[in-house]
Amino acid sequence: MFGDWHWIPGRTSAQERRFSEWLAQAAGPKLVIVELGAGSAVPTVRMTSEQIASRSGATLIRINPREPQVRHGHVGIAANALEALEAIDARL
């Protein structure tokens, strides 16, 4: 991985398989993806969140003080993670 020629992919493959199995069971409108602080400089997390939300019918809540933009139907919160999570918790 990333030029590490000694990378042993077995553990990663097993984690990806378990995650896919879990996601297949959890998919649907009750699934919510809460993404904290993932910026666009390294977009891997953002892309993964968006793809999962799109494929599974989940809602994406993106919490990012500078880049909270999300597609229509999802929630973008321009705040730091702790502040936003405390506000969400207070409303629940």
Instruction: State which amino acid sits at residue 76.
Output: G
Residue 13 has pLDDT above 70, yes or no: yes
- Relative to beta strand 59-63, strand 32-36 is parallel
Torsion of CA 43, 81, 32, 42, to 10 degrees: 10
Give me the residues paired with residue 57 across strands: none
pTM of the model: 0.86
pLDDT tens-digit profile of 43-81? 999 999 999 999 999 999 999 999 999 999 999 999 999
Residue 6 has pLDDT above 90, yes or no: no
Choose among 82, 34, 27: nearest CA to 56.
27
Alpha-helical regions (H) of the chain: 10-26, 44-56, 81-91
